[in-house]
Amino acid sequence: MIQKTLFGDEVQNERDDKYTTKIKAPIYEPKNKKPHILELCDYSKTKRLIHEIEMSGVDDEEKRFLIEAAKRHNVFNYSKIADYYAHATPEMQHLMERSALVIIDFDKAIQYGYVQLSDEIMNQYLTEYDTE
């Protein structure tokens, strides 16, 4: 789209082709190799924090709380998790889905409470994006 400036100059508007309101979900293609389970998460910061907490002088109840809080520093490698999921047993896949490590089915994600949509938002989404 070509637009004119206040001074009469013509300017090419590049936004027309670059941006869209249509959302396309990424499709992951699993690799042929199942990663080792220890590759799925980096626990190093968590382990250092837990060691520091255990060596501290705070009381046991406070230690339990801080240890639980330290677990939020685990770093998940989601591409390796997806590869692991692709090669896992059905039971393991189910548990990975229940833990929201992978979301395969949008309806299940809503059912499990990971995604909450009101009817109004869902209807608006379907109105705007339902092209099938």
Percent of the chain with pLDDT over 90: 45
3-state secondary structure of 58: coil
Distance (Å, rounded) from C-alpha 58 to C-alpha 54?
9
Q: Quote the pTM value.
A: 0.59
Amino acid at 56: S
Distance (Å, rounded) from C-alpha 116 to C-alpha 4?
45
3-state secondary structure of 132: coil
Under the banding of pLDDT at 50, 70 and 90, the label for residue 7 is low
pLDDT per residue as tens digits for the range 12-69: 555 555 656 566 666 667 778 899 999 999 999 999 999 999 999 999 999 999 999 9
pLDDT per residue as tens digits for the range 70-106: 999 999 998 899 999 999 999 999 999 888 888 776 6
Q: Longest C-alpha distance within the chain, in Å?
A: 74
pLDDT of residue 20: 61
DSSP secondary structure code for residue 8 in this structure: S
Distance (Å, rounded) from C-alpha 73 to C-alpha 41?
10
Tell me if 13 sits within 8 A of 2, measured CB to CB. Answer: yes
Packing angle of the helix pair 60-70, 44-55 (nearest 10 deg): 170
